[in-house]
Amino acid sequence: MNITALVENKSDGNFNPKHGLSLYIETEEHKILFDLGPDGTLFENSRKAGIDLRHVDTVIISHGHSDHGGALKQFLEINHKAKVYVQRKAFEKHYSKFLFLKVNVGLDKKLAGHEQIVLVDGDYKIDEKLFLFTVKSSPKYYSTVNDALYTVNGKDDFTHEQNLIISGEKNVLIMGCGHSGVATILGETEKYHPEVCIGGYHLFNPISKKGVSDSLLEQIAKDMSRYDIKFYTCHCTGEYAYQYLEKHLCEMHYLSCGTTISI
User: pLDDT tens digit string along 117-175?
Assistant: 999 999 999 999 999 999 988 888 999 999 999 999 999 999 999 999 999 999 999 99
The alpha helices in 161-238, defined as continuous H runs, are 182-188, 214-224
pLDDT higher than 90, residue 248: yes
61: confidence class by pLDDT, cuts 50, 70, 90: very high
Residue closest to 146 by CA, chosen among 43, 216, 83? 216
Question: Would you say how long the chain is, in residues?
Answer: 263
Handedness of CA 30, 36, 39, 41 (dihedral sign): negative
13: confidence class by pLDDT, cuts 50, 70, 90: confident
pTM of the model: 0.97
Question: Nearest-5° angle of CA 216, CA 141, CA 90?
Answer: 125
Cβ contacts of 170 within 8 Å, gap of 6 or more = 1, 195, 196, 263
Q: What is the arithmetic mean of pLDDT over 7-30? A: 96
Decide: 225 and 249 in contact? Cβ < 8 Å: yes
User: pLDDT tens digit string along 184-243?
Assistant: 999 999 999 999 999 999 999 998 999 999 999 999 999 999 999 999 999 999 999 999
Task: Report pLDDT for 250.
Answer: 94
Task: Report pLDDT for 98.
Answer: 87
Please give the mean pLDDT across all residues of the chain: 96
Provide the residue type at 29 as one letter. Answer: E
253: confidence class by pLDDT, cuts 50, 70, 90: very high
User: pLDDT tens digit string along 92-128?
Assistant: 999 999 888 899 999 999 999 999 999 999 999 999 9
Task: Report pLDDT for 32.
Answer: 98
Residue closest to 95 by CA, chosen among 108, 83, 104? 104
Task: Report pLDDT for 100.
Answer: 83
Task: Report pLDDT for 128.
Answer: 96
Cβ contacts of 65 within 8 Å, gap of 6 or more = 94, 105, 106, 107, 177
